[in-house]
Amino acid sequence: MDRNEARKHLAKAREFLATAETALGDERWNAAGLNAIHAGISAADAVVVASAGVRSAAKDHGASVDLLQSSVDRVPAASTRQLSGLLGMKNTVEYEQRLLTASEARTLVQQAGRFCAWATETVAAKLGDLGQETVRD
C-alpha cells in the first residue's frame, strides 16, 4: 500500500474526532462514543500505513493493536492503552442493548483525542508536514 494513503486515514480520524467532540457537546453520548472509536481505528490505520505500508484487513479490530505494535517502533504504552480502551468499547457502543453514559462518552473522546494527537505526530514524522487535510471527492 502506498504510504501516502496514510494522509487519507488521518483525515478520516480528524473528521471522526471532530464529530465526536460535537456530539459530546450536544450530549449525544452514543454518537460521541462511536465516532471516537472510529477516530482511533482510522488513526491506527494511518500510523501503520505510514510506517509499514500495510493496513489491517481483519474483521476483529482488536488485531489493530497487534499490527500497530509489530509495525511501528516504540509505540508508547499510553497510546497502546488508548487504542485498546477505544476498541474494548466498540461492541458495547454498537451492539449492546444499553446506552452509553456521559462519563463513558467523555472518556472515549479523551482517549481518541490523545491517540489521534500521537498518530498525527507519528505520521508527520514519517511523511512530513500534514497540514489540515480533509477527505475530498
- Is 133 part of any domain? no
- Is 96 part of any domain? yes
- Is 112 part of any domain? yes
* CATH number, domain containing residue 88: 1.20.120.330
The label of the residue with cell 477516530 reads: 39
**pLDDT above 90: percentage of residues in the chain:** 72
Domain count, the chain: 1
- pLDDT beyond 60 at 133: no
- Which residues form the domain of 121? 3-127
86-111 tens-digit pLDDT? 999 999 999 999 999 999 999 999 99
The stretches of the chain forming alpha helices (DSSP H) are 6-25, 29-52, 63-71, 77-88, 90-95, 102-127
- Is 137 part of any domain? no
- Is 132 part of any domain? no
- Is 136 part of any domain? no
pLDDT in the model for residue 136: 38
Helix (H, G, I), strand (E, B) or coil at 21: helix
Q: Over the chain, what is the mean pLDDT?
A: 89
